[in-house]
Amino acid sequence: MARRIVIIGSGAAGLTAASAARKKDKNAEITVITEDEHIAYSPCAIPWVLEGVSEWKDIIMHDPGFYKKERNITVIVGTKAESVDGTAKKVVAGGKEYIYDSLVIATGGTVFVPPVPGKDLKNVFVVRTIRDGMAIEKAMKDSKSAVICGAGVIGLEVAVAMRNMGLKVTVIEMMGQVIPRIADPDMAELIQKHLENRGIKFVLNAPVQSVKGTEKVEGVTAAGEDYGCDIVIFATGVRANLDLPKMLGLDIGLLGAVAVSPSMQPYVRGRLQKDVFLAGDLIQCQSAPGNGPTMSQLGSSAVRQGAVAGTNAAGGNETLGPVCSPWISRLGGLEMGGTGLSRSLAEWYGIRSVEGKARGSTRARYHPGGKELIVKISADASSHRIIGAQVLSGEGVNGRVNWITDMIARGETVESLLSYAENAYCPPTSMVKDVVLSAAEDLRDKLTKVI
Amino acid sequence: MARRIVIIGSGAAGLTAASAARKKDKNAEITVITEDEHIAYSPCAIPWVLEGVSEWKDIIMHDPGFYKKERNITVIVGTKAESVDGTAKKVVAGGKEYIYDSLVIATGGTVFVPPVPGKDLKNVFVVRTIRDGMAIEKAMKDSKSAVICGAGVIGLEVAVAMRNMGLKVTVIEMMGQVIPRIADPDMAELIQKHLENRGIKFVLNAPVQSVKGTEKVEGVTAAGEDYGCDIVIFATGVRANLDLPKMLGLDIGLLGAVAVSPSMQPYVRGRLQKDVFLAGDLIQCQSAPGNGPTMSQLGSSAVRQGAVAGTNAAGGNETLGPVCSPWISRLGGLEMGGTGLSRSLAEWYGIRSVEGKARGSTRARYHPGGKELIVKISADASSHRIIGAQVLSGEGVNGRVNWITDMIARGETVESLLSYAENAYCPPTSMVKDVVLSAAEDLRDKLTKVI
């Protein structure tokens, strides 16, 4: 009999799992169950649609018909998986029962909205689904100003999009810097100033106390001050959706997400579960530089995890190594990215970090069109292993972040980097010594001064 | 007494060695002796000056006065080091004697011009020094057509520059493809077609037989055909300058260059020489993927080698790991780069290579402005270690080449890459799964079919 694979969730993790399962097992009966109405779209692209750079139809890649026809995968949309029974190996969704041999749970996360008064008023939004995006787009047409709660990457991307569309934009952040947690204050300050120059206002160290208005939102109160606006966006982080994992009794990890093995399988009281796989925003996995748990709530991570979960659900045997969770954004013409541990994440893992930094250009200094490039690399003061990096420039950030990610994943020391790392060079594409290497040299010098 | 360090040669290797030596030893007496009149310039930038993108003054970074004032380094220009005596530890240059405690030889290489009739006619050039570049620039003013002998990266860069300046350009290559040796035929064909569309004519499989003309060049004969022109450029590879190494009796390696240790020290009959260091186009070092000798005749390699040679000449103890020699060029709006072994280099090392390939975009498919991106990765069929890659696109090639270089240097297998490698993602800067990972997946699939 054909293997029955049920996948719950149609985000990047769920659909990648479905396609990977099909690649592994030509005969499996594969069913994807999802609450969403749209599938196979890019939620990361929503800010660029709001800005008019892309259109909704562009960022929706496929519909259920495509999956049926091209991959013989059944996708059931608009249907919530209400319950799962690990003993009967059965999912109930929309009143129907689905028996599985292998189950993939990829139900992602939900934006955490702080429980403040007024949070349910009209024109208060989160940025998660196409439906969210379309509602924001509609509200923007009649609005002059917006408050974004949360200065993380998504908050900043939406802030830039709305500012580019002519709105007055205020970003309110509880912590003392933008891109908290994953960016260091010195790098965060650079991007904040850049966005301030583009007319975005920032209020830091300001927890949101209430959303004001009668029917429709009229303002936000934070740290005792009122900020009037027509739209409020909560971009305040994503919490794992744990309803189904809890029904199965899966072990929840230190970070409030499902703990999984490198094969993407969960545990029940420490015992590996053979027929359940998870991928996406609801799991925690192993941090490469941190030697402890971490969450990679990124589209690119969801795809990698989904591929492993789907392949293994179809009888394969793949594993995912520990992660660095590289991230990047493009904000008002500047690219900012990072990988591994920031200063504050290193502190969370109890690692003493030492930082090196260099400034240069993305091209030979004399070659026209080069952009200023700032690279920061940090290492564990005791082992000299590279543990993190942040890169800021008008271009060329993505490749450098991926490059350093590989060094971190391999446990490379700064000294080893300087002995081994080489960069390709021609005047229009890099400096003769890439700024990554200059930052590493600075880091080596700093390490010799650590006692 | 202060350590006396004599450095012969003022290219990237020599001047980097001088600066590194000064950083290591504040008191050393450092002297650079060079035949060249200009120092501290970027020879790689010459094509872009010929095209009018940069100016000569831009690409000359410093003069001897700068080195004296800022780093207390004496640079003696226009002076040939005529002899060196390893027993007396003495260099003779311009009739003067220079006693050294440590000697750095960074005299680079010379463009190999095949010994064909007419090679010394007026308007026959090589592209090596600023003086060469200025002579070419002057000749271009009165010329309508050029023949470039050699379709390597430098030949193509000069061809593009001359074509952009309105000349009729023919590139004649002895081998059956452009960028022979380091690019595979399938990738070379793509760049050749791109340049043909820009009006450059290619003649392959055609060894140059003679340069024709009476006083001034009038044409080139290759493979029995005549190609009329006003300028001839020989871009036919660089041979190591071995005069001084031979005076010291240094061991010459398999590739016709000075064999050096990871500390950049040469050997005499297999015995390491303590007070001599070499860097740049005249040495051979260890190939990371090839497990044998290789030459890295690249500006970026010269800088790395120079830093190690200079530091060690000043009493330091640094080493250079085995190399992948990543390279890149930007040719008529397309970037092409590579690292490690091409198919033909793998064959030279006796390695059976398997190739994976993927096409995608430099941004999310729907995001405007993305460029087509082609990535090819190859592995050793027996160990599955990644041994090489080539990348072609309108942008973003440099970072990907550096990224894969690190994987090769670390001896990473394809399977390990797929378990560990992560890419940062946002729609304007990459696909959710980078094309590098897709190429690696294709390679893994190909490897499973190898018997």
Amino acid at A288: A
H/E stretch holding A221 reads strand A217-222
Q: Is B426 part of the annotated catalytic residue set? A: no
When scoring A426, A436, A438 by the number of chain B Cβ atoms within 10 A, the one with the most, hence best to mutate, is A426
Q: How far apart are CA A328 and CA A392, in angstroms?
A: 9
Q: How far apart are CA A67 and CA A48, in angstroms?
A: 26
Are the beta carbons of A434 and B326 separated by less than 8 Å?
A: no
pLDDT tens-place values along chain B, 451 residues long = 899 999 999 999 999 999 999 999 999 999 999 999 999 999 999 999 999 999 999 999 999 999 999 999 999 999 999 999 999 999 999 999 999 999 999 999 999 999 999 999 999 999 999 999 999 999 999 999 999 999 999 999 999 999 999 999 999 999 999 999 999 999 999 999 999 999 999 999 999 999 999 999 999 999 999 999 999 999 999 999 999 999 999 999 999 999 999 999 999 999 999 999 999 999 999 999 999 999 999 999 999 999 999 999 999 999 999 999 999 999 999 999 999 999 999 999 999 999 999 999 999 999 999 999 999 999 999 999 999 999 999 999 999 999 999 999 999 999 999 999 999 999 999 999 999 999 999 999 999 988 6
Chain A positions in Cβ-Cβ contact with residue B409 (cut-off 8 Å): 420-422
Q: How far apart are CA B379 and CA B389, in angstroms?
A: 9
Q: How far apart are CA A369 and CA A361, in angstroms?
A: 10
ipTM of this predicted structure: 0.95
Chain centre distance of CA B159: 17
Burial class (CB in 10 A: 0-12, 13-18, 19+), B415: middle
Q: How far apart are CA B179 and CA B173, in angstroms?
A: 9
pLDDT at residue A410 greater than cutoff 70: yes
Q: Which token pair is B338?
A: 């590579």
Q: How far apart are CA A420 and CA A442, in angstroms?
A: 16
CB burial of A175-208 (b: ≥16 within 10 Å; e: otherwise) equals bebbbbebbbbebbebbbebbeebebbbbbebeb
B325 neighbors B352 (Cβ within 8 angstroms): no
Report the side by side order of strands in the sheet with A81-85: A81-85, A90-93, A96-99
DSSP readout, B74-92? EEE-S--EEEEETTTTEEE
Q: Which residues pair with A221 in a beta bridge?
A: A210, A226
CATH class of B113-234: alpha beta
Say how many Å lie between the first and final Cα of chain A, rounded. 65
Residue B419 has its nearest CB partner, among A299, A320, A436, at: A320
List all residues 6 or more positions away from A70 whose beta carbon is below 8 Å from its beta carbon. none
Q: How far apart are CA A275 and CA B258, in angstroms?
A: 60
Q: Which residues pair with A84 in a beta bridge?
A: A91
- pLDDT value, residue A399: 97
Residue B180 DSSP code: T
The CA distances from residue B155 to B44, B99, B119, B202, in Å, are 12, 40, 17, 12
Nearest CA in chain A to B432: A300
CATH number, domain B327-448? 3.50.50.60
Residues of chain A with CATH 3.50.50.60: 4-43+56-109+239-313, 113-234, 327-448
Are the beta carbons of A422 and B337 separated by less than 8 Å?
A: no
List all residues 6 or more positions away from A421 whose beta carbon is below 8 Å from its beta carbon. A407, A436, A437, A440, B402, B405, B406, B409
Å from A83 to nearest chain B CA?
31
Chain B positions in Cβ-Cβ contact with residue A288 (cut-off 8 Å): 420
Residue A237: half-sphere exposure toward Cβ, Cα within 13 Å? 12
Q: Which token pair is A101?
A: 């041999």
Q: Which token pair is B443?
A: 């390679």
CATH class of A4-43+56-109+239-313: alpha beta
Are the beta carbons of B402 and A400 separated by less than 8 Å?
A: yes
Are the beta carbons of A424 and B59 separated by less than 8 Å?
A: no
Q: How far apart are CA A154 and CA A44, in angstroms?
A: 8
Å from A87 to nearest chain B CA?
31
Residues of chain B with CATH 3.50.50.60: 4-43+57-109+239-313, 113-234, 327-448
- pLDDT value, residue A1: 87
B238 neighbors B245 (Cβ within 8 angstroms): no
In this structure, what is the dihedral angle of CA atoms B304, B309, B314, B319, given to the nearest 10 degrees? 80
Chain A positions in Cβ-Cβ contact with residue B360 (cut-off 8 Å): none
Chain A positions in Cβ-Cβ contact with residue B24 (cut-off 8 Å): none
pLDDT band at A451 (very low <50, low <70, confident <90, very high): low
Nearest CA in chain A to B323: A420
The candidate with the shortest Cα–Cα distance to B362, out of A109, A396, A179, A446, is: A396
| SS3 label, residue B120 | coil
Burial class (CB in 10 A: 0-12, 13-18, 19+), A365: middle
DSSP readout, A23-53? HH-TT-EEEEE-S-SS-SB-GGGHHHHHTTS
Å from A395 to nearest chain B CA?
9
The mean pLDDT of A66-94, rounded to a whole number, is: 97
Residue B366 has its nearest CB partner, among A58, A367, A395, at: A58
pTM score: 0.95
Q: Which token pair is B399?
A: 């970072």
**Annotated catalytic residue, options B44, B149, B229, B285:** B44
Nearest CA in chain A to B298: A425
Q: Which token pair is A37?
A: 């109405």
| SS3 label, residue B202 | strand
pLDDT band at A227 (very low <50, low <70, confident <90, very high): very high
- pLDDT value, residue B141: 97
pLDDT band at A343 (very low <50, low <70, confident <90, very high): very high
- pLDDT value, residue A359: 98
The candidate with the shortest Cα–Cα distance to A349, out of A292, A310, A423, is: A292
Q: Which residues pair with B356 in a beta bridge?
A: B377
| SS3 label, residue A340 | strand
H/E stretch holding B228 reads strand B225-228
Å from A81 to nearest chain B CA?
27
Q: Tokens 């050997």 sit at which residue? A: B267
* Cβ-based neighbour number of residue B249 at 10 Å: 13
Å from A331 to nearest chain B CA?
10
Are the beta carbons of B303 and A410 separated by less than 8 Å?
A: no
The candidate with the shortest Cα–Cα distance to A431, out of A359, A376, A377, is: A359
pLDDT at residue A309 greater than cutoff 70: yes
Are the beta carbons of B421 and A405 separated by less than 8 Å?
A: yes
Are the beta carbons of B421 and A430 separated by less than 8 Å?
A: no
Q: Which token pair is B353?
A: 């290579």
When scoring B261, B398, B401, B448 by the number of chain A Cβ atoms within 10 A, the one with the most, hence best to mutate, is B398
Are the beta carbons of A366 and B58 separated by less than 8 Å?
A: yes
Q: How far apart are CA B350 and CA B371, in angstroms?
A: 36
List all residues 6 or more positions away from A141 whose beta carbon is below 8 Å from its beta carbon. none
Å from A360 to nearest chain B CA?
15
Are the beta carbons of B422 and A409 separated by less than 8 Å?
A: yes
Q: Which token pair is B289?
A: 């993927």
* DSSP alpha helix (H) spans, B333-434: 343-348, 397-409, 414-420
When scoring A422, A431, A445, A448 by the number of chain B Cβ atoms within 10 A, the one with the most, hence best to mutate, is A422
B2 neighbors B67 (Cβ within 8 angstroms): no
Å from A225 to nearest chain B CA?
34
Number of cross-chain residue pairs from A and B with Cβ atoms under 8 Å apart: 227
A216 neighbors A123 (Cβ within 8 angstroms): yes
Mean pLDDT computed over every residue of chain A = 97
Are the beta carbons of B12 and A337 separated by less than 8 Å?
A: no
Identify the CATH assignment for B4-43+57-109+239-313 out of 1.10.10.60, 3.50.50.60, 3.40.50.720, 3.40.50.620.
Answer: 3.50.50.60
Q: How far apart are CA B71 and CA B218, in angstroms?
A: 48
Chain B positions in Cβ-Cβ contact with residue A430 (cut-off 8 Å): 328, 398
- pLDDT value, residue A379: 98
Burial class (CB in 10 A: 0-12, 13-18, 19+), A119: middle
Sign of CA dihedral B98, B103, B106, B112: positive
Are the beta carbons of B44 and A425 separated by less than 8 Å?
A: yes
Q: What share of chain A is helix, strand, coil (3-state, %, to 5)?
A: 30, 30, 40
Are the beta carbons of A430 and B398 separated by less than 8 Å?
A: yes
Q: How far apart are CA B306 and CA B282, in angstroms?
A: 12
Amino acid at A140: M
